[in-house]
């Protein structure tokens, strides 16, 4: 329901600026933006803290999915619809599936704490707090200069966000955009080469369950 | 009600990004599992992306969003290669604990 309301609001704002209708929209959409921000910021922080506190990597991965989904909503409230969709598809879809896949493949269990990790606690939490204090100090002192966020319709001309991005991406930034395809090709090749088994002889293809069981038995005997 | 009608300042988004980035740093240092360490790097990348989008919104500039797009592409490539490296490490060392992956120590 909230989606339709905001879409209507942004459309009206795009249509005729400065009409009394827009004023009512503004008073209407600000609580919506505040509510969306508070809910999804809280969700993102909760997910990030859960990533930090969980012992098992699969729980960390799933809480990272929560963070990415709530960040997608925040992108969308900032007028970046394309990035919100890409965040869900690329990050929460592709990358996190890859992570969960590797966690399952390597059968990663709970992490055990060592002396190294205690030193990391002593250094990590104050260090991270210092970075946070520094950043938030800068942001708060510059708060007035940075200004406020307004829901929907970030760009002035009547184009939507995806059309704007694609216009820039396929004209001015065409070469970098095409180079990324080479980068991804290299990454695929690198991943295949790195994850391949090292031995020179090609591995015997194991087709049936019985063969897997036999191999497991042999390993036990050895 | 007056609190509800205040607009959200951009600095609130930036502070949220700072919080997420700091949690990412802490997780990077505290976590002992290579995969969790890698996930905290992704968390930091996401936090920086949020600042890019917030500033793009503030300055009505598209460059920030384009940059986030390229960061996403590079992050996808990085995740593929990084996870392949993790699989290779697990195959040779039989562990995922970063304290035991000390081949280059001394």
pLDDT tier at A114 (50, 70, 90 boundaries)?
confident
Give residue B74's pLDDT band: very low, low, confident or very high (50, 70, 90).
very high
Q: Average of pLDDT values for A136-149?
A: 84
> Which residues in chain B (12-51) have CB-CB distances under 8 A to chain A?
12-16, 18-33, 35-36, 38-40, 42-43, 46, 49-50
Nearest 5°: CA angle at B92, between B88 and B93? 110
- Give the pLDDT score at A74: 93
- Identity of the residue in A87, A121, A164 whose CB atom sits nearest the CB atom of B62: A164
- Most B CBs within 10 A among A23, A74, A83, hence the mutation to make, goes to A83
Chain CA centroid to CA A2, Å: 23
Q: What is the mean pLDDT of chain A?
A: 78
Q: Which pLDDT score is estimated for A3?
A: 44
Mean pLDDT of B45-58: 92
Range from A15-24, A160-169, A192-201 that averages highest in pLDDT: A160-169
Give the pLDDT band of residue A182 (cuts 50, 70, 90).
very high
What mean pLDDT is predicted for residues A17-29?
48
pLDDT of A152 higher than 80:
no
State whether B76 and A90 contact (CB < 8 Å): yes
Cross-chain residue pair B33–A57, CB shorter than 8 Å = yes
pLDDT value at A155 more than 70: no
Q: What is the pLDDT of residue A35?
A: 87
Task: Give pLDDT, residue A102.
Answer: 92
Average of per-residue pLDDT across A26-48: 84
pLDDT band at B53 (very low <50, low <70, confident <90, very high): very high
> Is the pLDDT reported for residue B13 higher than 70?
yes
**Mutate: best of B3, B5, B54, B57, partner A, most A CBs <10 A:** B57
The residue in chain A having the minimum alpha-carbon distance to the alpha carbon of residue B97 is A111
Which position has the higher pLDDT, A72 or A119?
A72
Mean pLDDT over A183-201 rounds to: 84
Whole-number pLDDT of residue A218: 59
CA-based end-to-end distance of chain B: 63
Tell me the count of A-B CB pairs closer than 8 A. Answer: 263
Angle (CA) A13 A18 A23, round 5°: 70
Residue A1, CB-side half-sphere exposure with 13 Å CA sphere? 1
Q: State ipTM.
A: 0.91
A112–B66 C-beta distance less than 8 A? no
Report residue B60 as tokens. Answer: 């009505």
Chain A residues close to B87, C-beta within 8 Å: 102, 105-106, 194-195
Residue A210 pLDDT: 58
Among B105, B79, B90, CA closest to B33: B90
Q: What is the pLDDT of residue A211?
A: 55
Count of CA atoms in the C-beta half-sphere (13 A) of A98: 23
Could you tell me which of B77, B95, B40 has the C-alpha nearest to residue A51? B40
Say if residues B54 and A78 touch (Cβ distance below 8 Å).
Answer: yes
């Amino acid at each position: 329901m909230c989606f339709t309301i905001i879409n209507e609001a942004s459309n009206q704002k795009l249509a005729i600026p400065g009409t009394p209708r827009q004023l009512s929209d503004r008073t209407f959409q600000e609580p919506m933006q505040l509510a969306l921000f508070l809910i999804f910021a809280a969700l993102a922080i909760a997910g990030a803290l859960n990533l930090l506190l969980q012992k098992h990597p699969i729980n960390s991965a799933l809480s990272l999915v929560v963070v990415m989904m709530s960040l997608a909503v925040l992108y969308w409230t900032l007028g970046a619809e394309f990035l919100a969709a890409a965040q869900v598809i690329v990050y929460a879809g592709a990358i996190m599936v890859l992570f969960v896949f590797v966690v399952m493949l390597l059968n990663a269990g709970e992490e055990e704490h060592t002396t190294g990790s205690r030193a990391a606690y002593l250094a990590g939490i104050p260090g991270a707090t210092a970075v946070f204090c520094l950043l938030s100090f800068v942001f708060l002192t510059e708060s007035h200069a940075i200004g406020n966020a307004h829901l929907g319709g970030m760009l002035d001309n009547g184009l939507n966000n995806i059309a704007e991005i694609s216009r820039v991406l396929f004209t001015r930034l065409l070469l970098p955009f095409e180079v990324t395809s080479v980068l991804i090709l290299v990454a695929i090749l690198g991943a295949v080469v790195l994850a391949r088994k090292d031995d020179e002889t090609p591995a015997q293809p194991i087709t049936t369950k019985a063969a897997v069981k036999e191999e497991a038995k042999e390993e036990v005997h050895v | 009600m007056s609190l509800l009608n205040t607009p959200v300042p951009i600095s609130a988004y930036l502070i949220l990004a700072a919080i997420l980035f700091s949690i990412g740093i802490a997780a990077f240092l505290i976590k002992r599992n290579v995969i969790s360490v890698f996930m905290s790097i992704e968390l930091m990348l996401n936090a920086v992306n949020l600042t890019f989008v917030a500033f793009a919104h503030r300055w009505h500039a598209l460059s920030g969003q384009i940059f986030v797009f390229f960061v996403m592409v590079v992050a996808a490539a990085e995740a593929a290669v990084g996870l392949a490296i993790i699989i290779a490490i697990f195959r040779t060392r039989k562990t995922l604990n970063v304290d035991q992956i000390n081949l280059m120590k001394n």
